Chains A and B, each alone.
Chain A
Amino acid sequence: EIVLTQSPGTLSLSPGERATLSCRASQSVISNYLAWYREKPGQSPRLLIYDVSRRATGIPDRFSGSGSGTDFSLTISRLEPEDFAVYYCQQYGSSPWTFGQGTKVEIK
């Protein structure tokens, strides 16, 4: 099973600032099959990025994903109020599909 470790656990930033979230895999993610989700308080997770860097339908371009192999990142270029939430990465290259433990982006 591939273990995904996200860092930092909590990121304290102000609106308008840039956020960079990390996701490290215990082994190489096949075909770079990696996705990112945002979970707002009281809501279900929502897909942001799939295949490392492809934005999901309706996701603004302030969200971007990058990386390969075992190291991946999600960048939010300018934080909007709705971006203060928990973010999860997920790999789907190997069964069982697994998630990271999450990074919370909070208002500083």
Chain B
Amino acid sequence: EVQLVESGGGLVQPGGSLRLSCAVSGVSVSRTYMSWVRQAPGTGLEWISLFYSGSTIYADSVKGRFTISRDNSKNTVYLQMNSLTVEDTALYYCVRNPRDGDSWGWFDPWGQGTLVTVSS
């Protein structure tokens, strides 16, 4: 069973930085695709970043400010967040992108989420 445990959230001032971690068990991060999805308070879900086959993709809302990476030795995925704004306040989920043949892009499972609050 794949399990994802996020950490690293907290309160940060506008313009600040934060690094989120996602400890993965049940699968090797070197052999799977991983994403981050966020949910701002009272609103819906937003996919923000993907790491797959050594490549990365970002939503326009975070491009140039956020960086997704992984450490195969620690089986952990990271999200480095720089130049944070109040609009980045959200619950951040680490999610796996499983594959079924040539099909992939859905999210399963989801971590429990880590809350990031950007406020002065």
Give chain A's interface residues, CB within 8 Å of chain B: 31, 33, 35, 37, 44-47, 50-51, 54, 56, 88, 90, 92-93, 95-102
Interface centre among B45, B59, B111, B113 (most CB of A within 10 A): B45
Contact, CB under 8 Å: B44 / A100: yes
Q: Which A residues are CB-close (under 8 A) to B93?
A: 44-45
User: How far apart are B68's CB and chain A's nearest CB, in angstroms?
Assistant: 14
In the assembled complex, the Cα of A97 lies from the Cα of B46 at a distance in Å of: 8
Q: Given the interface contacts A47-B109, A92-B105, does A99 sit within 8 Å of B45 by beta carbon?
A: yes
Among B46, B47, B57, B107, the one with the most A-chain Cβ atoms within 10 Å of its Cβ is B107
Total interface residues in chain B, CB < 8 Å: 20
Whether A95 contacts B57 in the complex (CB less than 8 A), given A44-B110, A90-B106, comes out as yes
Q: Decide yes or no whether B112 CB sits under 8 A from chain A.
A: yes
Shortest Cβ distance from A101 into chain B, in angstroms? 5
User: In the complex, which of the residues B45, B103, B104 contacts A45, with contact meaning CB atoms closer than 8 Å?
Assistant: B45
Q: A51-B100, A96-B59 are in contact. List 20 more A-B contacts (CB 8 A).
A: A35-B106, A35-B107, A44-B112, A44-B113, A45-B93, A45-B110, A47-B107, A47-B108, A50-B103, A50-B108, A56-B108, A88-B45, A90-B45, A90-B47, A92-B105, A95-B57, A96-B47, A99-B46, A100-B44, A101-B44
